[in-house]
Structure 1
Amino acid sequence: MTEGIEPTSMLSDALVILGAAGLVIPLFARFRITPVIGFILIGVAVGPFGLGRLVPEVPWLGYVTIAHAEALEPFAEFGIVLLLFGIGLELSFKRLAAMRSLIFRMGPMELFGSAALIALGLMALGNSPPTALALGLALSLSSTALVLRIVRADTQVGRTALGTLLFEDIAIVPIIFLLGAMGRGDQTTDLHTFLTTLGTGALVVAVLILFGRTLLPYLFAQAARTKSSEIFLAASLLVVIAASLATAAVGLSPIVGALVAGLMIAETEFHGEVEGMIDPFKGLALGVFLITIGMSLNLEVLWQRTWDISVALALVLVIKAAVTSAILRLGGLRTAPAIEAGVLLASPSETTLIVLTSAVSVNLINPDAAQFWQIVTALGLTITPLLARLGRKVASRISSGDDGMIDDGDGPRVIIVGAGRVGRLVADMLVTHERSYVAVDADADLTERARRMGYLAIFGDAGRADVLRRLGVERAPAVVLTMDQPVLAERLVAKLRDEFPELLIVARARDVAHAASLYRAGASHAVPETLEASLQLSEAVLTDIGVAMGPVIASIHEKRDEFRVEIEREGALDYRPKLRTGPTGD
C-alpha cells in the first residue's frame, strides 16, 4: 500500500507553505535571520533539487516537499501583484508627480548605465553583442518585491529606491519587446507590434484611472455600508485583479495594473482600511514567491560551479552598486544615502528571471547559460537583506564622519531621538537652559533640514546599539524619544532600560494608553500628546477669561500629577526605574 501513496499536490504544497510561515519563519526570527532568507532556504530544502528529488525513493517526503515548482508560479505572481498594489496604496498621483525626476531621469540612467557596463564586460569575455545586451538588461534590474519590503518608502533611501524601481517595472515590457526584435528564432517581434502594445496599454491605463476616480468611491462606500469585512475585502481584490487582467490583456505586465489600482484607491478615504486587509495576504503570497526562488536553485550546478557563480555575482553587485551610487550622487543626493541606495539595489531581480526566459525563447541565450544566470539571480535575491544591512552600515560610517559624531573626549549631553518639530523644540529648551544635546534621526531629509536650521543633528538609526554608544549614551544625562512611532518607541525604551538600568528615559506618547505601555517598557516619564494639548487649551481659556496666572499654573501642575498617577496605575508597573540624579535640565 505504501507504493500507492500519492499525496494530493495542492494540499501538500499548502502544508509546506503554511508550515514555513507558521513554524519555521518564527524560528528564523528567534535567531534574527530575516524571513526573506528563511523562505528562500525553505524553497531550497523542499524543492525538486533538495528533498524533493528523494520522493521516488522515500514516498512520504511528498507530503513535506514541493516537486513541481511551476504549480506555485501563479501564486508567486499574485504575490508580486499584491505587493505592487500595496505600493500604489502608499503613493498618490500628486506624490508620483513629485517623483517624476527620480522615475524618468535617474531611473533610465541607473538601468541603462548598469546594463551597458555589464554588457561590455560580457562582450570582453567572448559573448556576442546581442547576448551580452540581453544579459546586461536582465541583470541590471533590481528587486521591487524585496527592496520595498526592507526599506520604508517614506525615507530618503526608500523614495530613491522606489523611483528607480518604478521605472524598471515600466521598462520591463519595452525590454522584452526589444529582445524579441533582436531574437534569432521564430518568436521575434516588430516595431509596429511594440508601438501598438504601448499605445493600447496607455489607453487602458487612462480608462482605468477615469473609471477608478468616478466609480471606486461609490463601490467602497457601498461595501462599507454593509459593515461586512468579507465584502470589503472582496471589493478590494476585485479591483486589483480586474486592473491587472486589463493591462495583461493588452500585453503589459499585470503589475502595472496593480500599481494603477493601488494609486486609484489611495485617492479615496478607504485606502487605510484596504491596506490593512490586504497586508496579511500580501506577506503570505510574497513568501510563496520567495519559496519558488529557492526552489530554482540547482544545488548540483551550484556545487560544481561555485567559483564561477561567486565571481559573476560579485561583479554584478559591484557594477550595479557603483553605477547607481555614482548616478544618484551626481543627481544631487548626499553621499551616505546614495551609497546606501546603490548597495541596496545591487542585486538582480525577480523580473530578471522573466527577461532571461524571454531571451531563451528567442535564442539570444542558450538554456545552460540561462540556468547559470538564474542561479546567480537567486543567490543575489537571497543576500539582498544582507546587502541592505551593509549599505546602512557604510552610510552610517560616512554620516558619522561627515556629521561629527562625538568621541570619548566629549562631555555628557542629552540625546534626542528624532530631529522633527518636537525634537527641535526640546533642543531649543535645552539650549535656553544651557544644556548640551545631540539629535539623531534615521530620516536624512529631517536631519539635513535640522542642520540647516542650526541644530546639532546627525543621521543614524537609534535602534542600533552602536549608534547610541558612539553618541555617548552611557554618559548621557537623559535620552528623549520624540518620534511619532509608538511600536518603535516601546521597543527602544525596553532596549535602553535593559542595557542602562539607571538611565533617565523621557518618551513622547500618543495617548494615555500608549503612555502606560511606555511605562511598562521602562520609561522614566511618558508624556501623552492628548493630555498636554488638553492642559494647554485649559490654560489658554482660563487666563483669557480672567483667572490669575499663578492659580492656573498650579492647577495645571496638579492635574498633570493626577494623570501621571493614573497612567502609572493603568500601566500596572512591575517596577519604577531608578532615576539618575545628574544634570537633566530645568
Structure 2
Amino acid sequence: MAIDLLLNTLIFLAAAVLIVPIFKRLGLGEVLGYLAAGVVIGPSALALVADTEAVLQFSQVGIVFLLFVIGLELKPSRLRVMRKAVFGFGSLQVAITTATLSLAAWWLGLPPAAALVVGFSLGLCSTPLVLQLLGERKELQTRHGRNAFALLLFQDLAAIPVLAIIPMLAADALLADGFMPLLEGVLIAVGAFLGLIIGGRYLLRPLFHYAAATRSREVFAGTVLLVVIGAALLMELAGLSMALGAFIAGVLLADSKYRHNIEADIEPFRGLLLGLFFMAVGMTADIRLIGEMPLVVLGLTLGLVLLKALAVLIAARVHGTGWKDGINLGVLLSQGGEFGFVLLSAAATAALLDQSLVSLLILAISLSMATTPLLFQLHVHGLRRLFTRRRPKRAYDTLPDDAPQIIIAGFGRFGQIMGRALQGLKIPYTVLDINADQVEVVRRYGNKVYYGDASRIDLLKSAGADRARVLVVAVSDPEASMRIVGQVRRQFPHLKLYARARNRHHAHLLMRAGITHIVRELLPASLELTRDALIGLGIPREQAQHTIDTFRPHDEQALLRQLEVFGNEKKQIQTIHEAAQELEALYEADEDIATRVEEIPRWQR
C-alpha cells in the first residue's frame, strides 16, 4: 500500500515537472499543462494510475484550500459591498445560462427535468481554473476579475440546493418519500451553516491565539489545516459543499491579525493540491470517445463554449457591464466546471440521465476547461488589443501662455509632493506628464496638469521653458529622464535642472550629463527608516541621527568615486567593497556610535 502511494506520488510529480514547464514556456499557462499531464498518465493514454475517481475525490481538497485563501482576502465589509454583484449579477447570469443550455438540451431530445439538470450543470464554471488564470495575469482586482469572482461565488452557492433537489426529480421519488427527506436535509444544512458561523466567530480567534502563543510554526500550520479541513468536513457531512465551509472559515478569519501568517502557511498546500485537481480532471476525461464519435464530442464542446460565452455576454450587458468587460467575462466563463461532474454523477445515480450520456457530457466539460486557457490567451493578444487600438490617440494639451517659475516633468508620487508644497507657497508652476490616465486622475483633485511629452522642444516652449527658472525632472523612467535632460541642456541652457534618480546607475547617468542637483528617490526614506529602527533598538534619537548624518556624506563620496570608474564593472565592485570597509572603520572610529552599538544586547544584533 505504501509503495503504491509513493509510486503514484512519483508519477504525478514527474508528469507535472516534465509537462507543465513546456506549456508555460509556450505561453499556454500552468492549468492547461496540468490537464495535459493528467491525460498522459490517465487511463485514456499511458494508464499509469489506476483509481482515477479516488484521485479526483482527494484532489477536491485543492479547491477547499483555494476557497479558504479567497475567503481570507474577503472581509465581511467587502462582502456586503459585493452583495449586488454576487446575488444580482450572479442570479441573472445563472438564469440566462441555465435557460439557454436547458432549451438546447430539450431541443436535442432530453425530457424537461433531465434537460433542466443538464442545463444547470453545464452552466456552472470552474472556480479554480478561472481564478488561476486571473491570478497568473494579476487581474483578480480588475473590474472583470471582481465580476467573475462574484459569479463564481453565486454559482457555488446555487449548486448546493440543486444537488439536494436532484434525487427528488427522479421518477416517483417525490411520491414515494414525500417532502420530509428534503425538509430534513434543508434543516440539517441550515443548522450546520449557522453552527459554523457562530462557532467560528467565537472559537477561531482564541484557537489561533493559543497556537501562536506556542511560538511553534508547526503547531500554527497544524492549526490552519485543522480549521480548513474541519470546516470543509462539517459542510460535507451536512450535505453541503466542502468548498463553502472552507470559504466561510476564511471570511471569519479575514479580519484576524493572524491572516497573513495563515495565508503563508496554507499557500504550499493550495498550489500542490490545485495542480493535482487539474491533473485528476485530465485523467477522468474519457478521451477514447473522441475516436469513437469525434464529430459529436467536438460539436458538443464547441456548442457548450459558444452558448456559454454568448449567455454570459448577454447577462453582462443586461446588468449594465461594458462590451470590453462583457467579452472578458464571456471568454473566461465559457467552460464547464468541477461542480458539473458532481451534479451529473448525482443525476446518473438518481436515474435521471444515462451513464453513457454523463460520460459524454463530462468529457465535453473537460475539453471546454482545456480550451479556456487557449481562448483567453488569444483574447488577450487579439480582441483586447483591438479595443485598445480603437481608442483615438489623444492630442497633447494646449498649454497656457504664461510664465511659470518652475516646470515639473512627471507628476507621479514624487512630483505631486513637490507640487503640493509649491501650491501652498503660491509659486506658479506648470506640470507635464506623458501618462494620459494619470493626468485625468490628478486633474479631478484640482491640480493643473497638462498631457504632453516633456522631451519635445515645442511643448517645452509652450510650457514656458524659455522664461522659467527651474525644471524638475521627476519622471521615474531613466531613459525618458535622460531624453528630457539632453533636450533641455541643448535648447534651454539657462534652466536650472533638478532631477530625480531612480537608483545609483541613473544617478551616475545624470551626473555624467552635468546635473548636480540630484535626489535618489529611495535614499531619504531609507535613511529615515534606518534611523527609526536604530531608535527601536535602544539607541538615543540624537545618536541615531548622528549615525545617519555620518553615513550620508560618506555615501555621496562613494558615489563620486564610483562615477570615476563608470562602465568598468570590475573596478566598480572593488570600489563598493572599499566603501563598505571604509564605512565600518568610520563607525568604529566614532566613539559615540561605537559605544551605543556595544550597549545593544548581543541577541538583538
TM-score (norm 1): 0.71
- Residue 50 (structure 1) shift: 0.6
Q: Which of 252, 277, 302 is residue 314 of structure 1 equivalent to?
A: 302
Matches within 5 A, 1:42-61: 42-52=37-47
Aligned CA distance change for structure 1 residues 501 and 218 (closer, same or farther; 3 Å): same
CA distance in 1, matches of 2:436, 2:226: 46
Superposition RMSD in Å? 4.6
Give the 3-state SS of the residue equivalent to 2:253 in structure 1.
helix
Displacement after TM superposition at 1:358 (Å): 1.0
- Per-residue deviation, 1:357: 0.5
Q: Which residue of 1 aligns with 2:250?
A: 262
Distance in 2 separating the partners of 1:526 and 1:337: 40
Offset of residue 88 of structure 1:
0.7
User: Within 5 Å, which residues of 2 pair with 1:101-120?
Assistant: 101-120=84-103
Deviates more, 1:368-377 or 1:215-224: 215-224
Aligned match of 2:318: 330
Which of residues 384, 387, 391 is equivalent to 1:396? 384
The one-letter code of the counterpart of 2:337 is S
TM-fit CA distance, 1:532:
7.6
Alpha-carbon distance, 1:24 to partner:
3.6
Instruction: Report the AA paired with residue 252 of structure 2.
Output: M
From 146, 155, 161, give the equivalent of 2:148: 161
Residue matched to 2:65 = 82
Structure 2: how far apart are the matches of 1:311 and 1:91? Answer: 39
Instruction: Give the match for residue 114 of structure 2.
Output: 131
Alpha-carbon distance, 1:262 to partner: 0.8
Match of 2:49 in 1: 66
Deviation at 1:248, TM superposition (A): 1.3
For the 8 Å contact 2:63–2:128, the answer to whether it is kept is: yes
Q: What's the secondary structure of 1:51's corresponding residue?
A: coil
With structure 2 as the length reference, what TM-score do the two structures score?
0.69
Contact 2:121 2:343 survives alignment (8 Å) = yes
Deviation at 1:7, TM superposition (A): 9.7
Alignment partner, residue 91 of structure 1: 74
**What SS does the aligned partner of 2:432 have?**
coil
1:561 CA drift (Å): 11
Aligned residues of 2:504 and 2:520 also touching (Cα < 8 A) = no
CA displacement, residues 491-510 of structure 1 (integer Å, 9 cap, x when unaligned): xx9xx99xx999899xxxxx
Rounded Cα–Cα distance in structure 1 between residues aligned with 2:301 and 2:178: 33
Residue 509 of structure 1 corresponds to which residue in structure 2?
A: none
* Change in 2 beyond 3 A, CA 1:179/1:574: farther
Opposite residue 96 of structure 1, the aligned amino acid is L
Q: 1:331 to 1:143 in 2, by over 3 A?
A: same
Deviation at 1:202, TM superposition (A): 2.7
Matching of residues 440-455 of structure 1 within 5 Å:
none
Bigger CA radius of gyration: 2
The aligned length equals 489
The separation in 2 between residues aligned to 1:433 and 1:560, in whole angstroms, is: 33
- The residue identity in structure 2 corresponding to 1:294 is G
- 1:127 and 1:575, CA in 2 relative to 1: closer, same or farther beyond 3 A? farther
Partner of 2:434: 437
1:506-543 CA-partner distances (Å, limit 9, x unpaired): xxxxxxxxx779989x99997339728949x99xxxxx
State which drifts further: 311-320 or 87-96: 311-320
Post-superposition offset of 1:231? 0.6
**Distance verdict in 2 for CA 1:519–1:77, change over 3 Å:** farther
Query: 1:516 touches 1:567 (CA, 8 Å); kept in 2?
Result: no
Question: 2:195, 2:528 → 1: CA distance?
Answer: 48
More off after superposition, 363-372 vs 16-25: 16-25
What is aligned with 1:461? none
Conservation of the 8 A alpha-carbon contact between 2:126 and 2:369: yes
Q: 1:176 aligned to 2:163?
A: yes
How far apart are 1:159 and its partner, in Å?
1.1
Q: Output one character per residue of 1:1-35: Cα deviation in whole Å (capped at 9) or x when no partner.
A: xxxxx993211110012223444433433333311
Partner residue of 1:365 out of 325, 341, 353: 353
Equivalence for 1:15: 10
Alpha carbons of structure 1 residues 186 and 267: separation in structure 2 relative to 1, 3 Å: same
Q: Could you tell me whether the CA contact under 8 Å between 2:297 and 2:364 is conserved in 1?
A: yes
Give the whole-Å Cα distance in 1 for the aligned partners of 2:165 and 2:440. 42
Question: In structure 2, do the counterparts of structure 1 residues 479 and 45 end up closer, same or farther at CA, with 3 Å as the change threshold?
Answer: farther
Query: Residue by residue, what CA displacement relative to the aligned partner does 1:163-215 show, whole Å, maximum 9, x if unpaired?
Result: 11111111112112232222137699754433433333233222222222222
Aligned sequence identity (%): 28
1:28 is matched with 23
What residue identity is the alignment partner of 2:434? Y
CA separation in 2, counterparts of 1:574 and 1:82?
Answer: 50
Identify if the C-alpha distance between structure 1 residues 402 and 365 changes in structure 2 by more than 3 Å, giving closer, same or farther: same
Residue 147 (structure 1) aligns with: 130
**What are the ranges of 5 or more consecutive residues in structure 1 without an aligned counterpart?**
1-5, 53-64, 409-413, 442-446, 458-470, 482-492, 506-514, 539-554, 577-586
Equivalent runs, 1:155-304 vs 2, <5 Å = 155-184=142-171, 191-304=179-292
Matched position secondary structure for 1:269: coil
Give the structure 2 partner of residue 528 of structure 1: 522
- What letter is aligned with 1:44? V
* Residue 141 of structure 1: how far off its partner (Å): 0.2
The one-letter code matched in structure 2 to 1:528 is: L
CA distance in 2 between partners of 1:138 and 1:339 (Å): 22
Deviation at 1:106, TM superposition (A): 0.9
Task: Give the Å deviation of 1:73.
Answer: 2.6
CA-CA distance at 1:315 after TM superposition: 1.9
The offset of 1:276, in angstroms, is 0.9
Hey, what's the Cα distance between the residues in 2 that align with 1:45 and 1:366? 27
Secondary structure of the residue aligned to 1:435 is strand
Q: 1:425 to 1:69 in 2, by over 3 A?
A: farther
Q: Write out per-residue CA displacement over residues 387-441 of structure 1, whole angstroms, 9 at most, x where no aligned residue.
A: 3334444663464256434699xxxxx999x9xx779889999x95453512469
> Which stretch of structure 1 is more off in the superposition, 37-46 or 337-346?
337-346
Cα distance change, pair 74–182 in 1 and its aligned pair in 2 (3 A): closer
Quick one: distance in 1 between partners of 2:80 and 2:265? 27
Deviations 1:262-296 (A, max 9, x none): 11121211011111111111011011111111112
> Which structure 2 residue ranges, 5 or more long, are not aligned?
397-408, 423-427, 461-472, 486-501, 511-517, 533-547, 570-605
Change (3 A) 1:526 1:397: farther
Cα distance in 1 for partners of 2:56, 2:87 equals 31
Q: Distance in 2 between matches of 1:533 and 1:404?
A: 45
The secondary structure found in structure 1 opposite 2:320 is coil
3-state SS of paired residue (1:99): helix
1:406-445 alignment runs, 5 A limit: 433=430, 435-439=432-436
**Contact 1:119–1:135 (Cα < 8 Å) also in 2:** yes
Q: 2: CA distance between counterparts of 1:222 and 1:111? A: 43
Q: Residue in 2 aligned with 1:551?
A: none
Measured in 2, the distance between the counterparts of 1:49 and 1:568 equals: 67
